[in-house]
Amino acid sequence: MFYHDNKLQYKVRVDKPNPVFANMLQQAIGGIEGEIRVCLQYLFQAWGARGPVKYRDMLLETGTEEISHIEMLATAVALNLEGAPLSLQEEMTKDKVIGAVMGGMNPRHVLSSGLAAMAVDANGNPFNGSWVVGSGNIAADMYANVMAESTGRVLATRLWEATDDAGMKDMLAFLIARDTMHQNQWLAVLEELGGLKGMHPIPNSFPQSEEHQQFSYSFISTSIDGNTQAQGRWSAGQSMDGKGEFTFDPAKPFGDEPMLGPPDPRGHAQTEQMTGAADGGLMDKIKGAL
């Protein structure tokens, strides 16, 4: 169950409002690298957690923290929109730099939200629930979380570079630090779960004897001319999970040409697909083969 107070987790100050930066910040709210995604991802993982309770509890804690991050960023967007231009004529008659600003704004910040944050990314794409990963396999989920905090911290550092507003840099320096912690946090779970050699291949509960093991540690090169530079740690030596040896092998087909049956007449393909009239008997060959 959830509670709140009416303060922010960390202070949000905008010295010089900038509606173009407001739009950029939307990526950290409603984007695939953003805070709504991690918030819902950690909460859904918690709510569906089967297994040790401590992981569920930890996910619940950090999922709750992320709501506070959305709040900070939404506040930052609103503050960056203070005094934003609301009309085209205002744009065109004043300093032309403002003209450039309007080009980089999200027009829906004027038209749809009345100068407030929305649940969208920096292209105006709405937040999409398909980004919320919770697989029921905790190791896979922890990688999803490390990945989310890694792309999230990359995003935050780019936002930090994009602005010279001291207030915004201060807020982002807090969020960047939290991303540092959260990367470490999910990695700590991965260590507890057995580390590389204990966890992989994920899921580690599937018996590897059932997979076709001659393909389990082979780097398959699809290059037709042998002119590849794709050699590295992955093409020789012990595999990362300690269960095999890497090899480097040229691609070749182990299967045959696929052969589907003729169309069912009630599916209303063209008659020519069913009679073979168009291809000089090839159709008969198909039918013969089935």
Annotated binding site for Mn(2+): 35, 66, 69, 149, 182
Residue 4 contacts a copy of itself per CB under 8 A: yes
Q: Quote the Cα angle for 41-44-47, to 5°.
A: 150
* Total site size for a copy of itself, rule CB under 8 A: 206
Using the 8-state DSSP alphabet, how is residue 58 labeled?
H
State which of positions 162-221 bind a copy of itself (CB under 8 A). Answer: 162-164, 170, 173-174, 176-181, 183-185, 187-189, 191-194, 196, 199-206, 208, 210-221
State which of positions 59-98 bind a copy of itself (CB under 8 A). Answer: 60-62, 64-65, 67-68, 70-72, 74-75, 78-79, 82-83, 86-89, 91-92, 96-97
Which of 15, 161, 166, 288 binds a copy of itself (CB under 8 A)? It is 161
| Cβ atoms of residues 262 and 274 within 8 Å | yes
Sign, CA torsion 114/118/122/126: negative
As annotated, the binding site for Ca(2+) includes 57, 223, 226
State which of positions 243-272 bind a copy of itself (CB under 8 A). Answer: 244, 246, 251, 253-258, 260-272
Question: In the complex, what is the shortest distance from the CB of residue 222 to a copy of itself, in angstroms, rounded to a whole number?
Answer: 4
| Cβ atoms of residues 174 and 56 within 8 Å | no
Measured in residues, the chain has a length of 290
Residue 15 contacts a copy of itself per CB under 8 A: no
As annotated, the binding site includes 35, 57, 66, 69, 149, 182, 223, 226
Question: In the complex, what is the shortest distance from the CB of residue 22 to a copy of itself, in angstroms, rounded to a whole number?
Answer: 11
| Cβ atoms of residues 77 and 25 within 8 Å | yes
Residue 288 contacts a copy of itself per CB under 8 A: no
| Cβ atoms of residues 182 and 145 within 8 Å | yes
Structure-block tokens of residue 127? 């937040």
Please, which residues have CB within 8 angstroms of residue 168's CB and are 6 or more apart in sequence? 13, 14, 15, 21, 76, 80, 159
Per-residue contact string for residues 225-244; x = within reach of a copy of itself by CB under 8 A: x-xxxxxxxx----xxx--x
Rounded to an integer, what distance in angstroms lies between the CA atom of residue 17 and that of residue 163? 11
Estimate the crossing angle of helix 35-47 against helix 138-162, to 10 degrees.
160
Question: In the complex, what is the shortest distance from the CB of residue 42 to a copy of itself, in angstroms, rounded to a whole number?
Answer: 11
Which of 22, 33, 35, 42 binds a copy of itself (CB under 8 A)? It is 33
Which of 35, 38, 42, 138 binds a copy of itself (CB under 8 A)? It is 138
Q: Which amino acid is at 75?
A: T
